[in-house]
Structure formats: structure tokens, C-alpha cells
Chains A and B, each alone.
Chain A
Amino acid sequence: MASTFDTVAGIIADTCDIEREKITPESHAINDLGIDSLDFLDVAFAIDKAFGIKMPLETWMQDVNEGKVSTDEYFVMKNLCANIDKLVAAKTA
């Protein structure tokens, strides 16, 4: 079974036409991979469908805009995957 990282990296590679090798756990989706907001909509939709979750993107962006966290918290790949794992675990709990 593919890891969360492999699934998400695959989604990003396919959706945004980014070479799979360029996507590492430390990659920042926006700053390193250059994904813009419209592309991220595609990515979010694919992730929501693949994992059966609803990523609370608006809450995340609110946290960032209010200065509670940096974008790293949600957009660095390993952190994004950790958040996805939490949402999946909450779904099945």
C-alpha cells in the first residue's frame, strides 16, 4: 500500500506536471514546487477524493493569515501528509 507521501506526491506530479523526483518530504508546495492557488484547488480536490476527507483549507489559511502558523505548517509536504493522516484517522475513529 502506498504511503500518504507517495500518494500525495503522485497527485501533485500528475496534476501540476511536476517531475516526481523534485517532490521531497521537505518540499514546500508553493515556495519550492510553484503550485499556485488554482492548481492547488486541483490538488486539494484530488487529495480529498483519494483519502475520503475534506481538508479544512479555509481554517488553515485563516491560521496563516492570523499569524498563528507559517505556511510551512500546511504546505511543506511532510506536514501536509501528517495533517492528511490526522484527518483520515479522525474519520475512522
Chain B
Amino acid sequence: MQLEYFQMVDRITELDLDGRRIETSCQVPENSPIFEGHFPGHPILPGVLMIETMAQTGGWLVLSLQRFARMPFLMQVEKAKMRSFVEPGRLLSGEATLQHDGSGYAVIQGTIRADGKKVAEAEIRYGVVPFPNDTLRGIMLENARRIGVPETLFHAE
């Protein structure tokens, strides 16, 4: 994770487009200015960043299903639950399954696990729209390559 850059996903560990499911690996850093404030003497990953991790995990699934033609933006979070504290240095695994592919929107069910135990879950809804510019699309493709999205998915069928 690069918390200060809001990059929560390190790697895609499984991408099943037919099954509309993704798994990701997200390493919580040992140190970050975020932990200095949240909280002094009791550093824990903020709950909203667990939601962001689930949103990004699902976001990569939506991007891959769209063949990177359109960008998902977080619009709504339902029934988010943060079940356990997550300390610096923990290795998290994200999972998202597509619940619905609507016109201009998508819905995923996200989960985060640490040592196989569920630490957070939420239903995440995205607005899915054309990329606002080529710069963003280019950056998303670069990030996609870095985290292991297959090159074949970068070109619309």
C-alpha cells in the first residue's frame, strides 16, 4: 500500500472474469504519517481506508470487465462493517464479487481478510463513466500493469 497516494492494492492475486471475482494482496506499511495521527500510541488502519481498499479491489474488477474503456468512481457504500483493528505491517487480502452490472453503474460485494479472518466488508456501488481524459486512462493502465492485470485486457474486444 502507498497510503499517502491512496494506492491500496499491491497486486492482483486472482482475476476470474467469467466468475466476476477478484482477489488482491494489500500490505499495510509499518510506518506512515497516517499512523502518527491515527492514533498516537495505538496505530491502526483507518476504517475509511479499509473501505477504500475494498473499493479499489472492486474497482480493478470493474475496470477489467470493462476492458479499461470506462472508469468506475465510488458513489455509494452500503452496510460497511469494520470488524477488527488492523495494525501496521499486516498483510491483507481483498476480495470482490460483482453483484450487478448496470447501465452506468456497478455494484460489488467486498471483503478484506487478515490471516484468513474477515476484518471488513461492504457493498460498494460505482458510477461507471467514460474516462474524463487520456492522462487518467494512461495512469490507470500503468498501474494495472504494475499490479498484474493481464495485458490482453487492455484492448477492447
**Interfacial chain B residues near A61, Cβ < 8 Å:** 104
For residue B9, give the distance in angstroms from its CB to the closest CB of chain A.
24
What 0/1 pattern do residues 104 to 120 of B give for CB contact below 8 A with A? 11010000000000000
Q: Are B105 and A41 in contact (CB under 8 A)?
A: yes
Residue from A41, A44, A57, A58 with most neighbouring chain B CB atoms (10 Å): A41
Measured in the bound complex, the distance between the Cα atoms of B103 and A58 in whole Å is: 6
Q: How many residues of A are counted as interface, with CB atoms below 8 angstroms from the partner's CB atoms?
A: 14
A19 within 8 A of B: no
- Which of A38, A42, A49, A57 is B103 in contact with, Cβ under 8 Å? A57
A59 within 8 A of B: yes
For residue A39, give the distance in angstroms from its CB to the closest CB of chain B.
10
Q: Are B76 and A59 in contact (CB under 8 A)?
A: no
- Which of A38, A49, A56, A58 is B100 in contact with, Cβ under 8 Å? A49
**Interfacial chain B residues near A44, Cβ < 8 Å:** 102-103, 105
Q: Are A45 and B103 in contact (CB under 8 A)?
A: no
For residue B13, give the distance in angstroms from its CB to the closest CB of chain A.
28
For residue A44, give the distance in angstroms from its CB to the closest CB of chain B.
6
Supply 10 A–B pairs (Cβ within 8 Å), ascending by A.
A38-B75, A41-B75, A41-B76, A44-B105, A48-B102, A54-B101, A54-B103, A55-B103, A57-B102, A61-B104
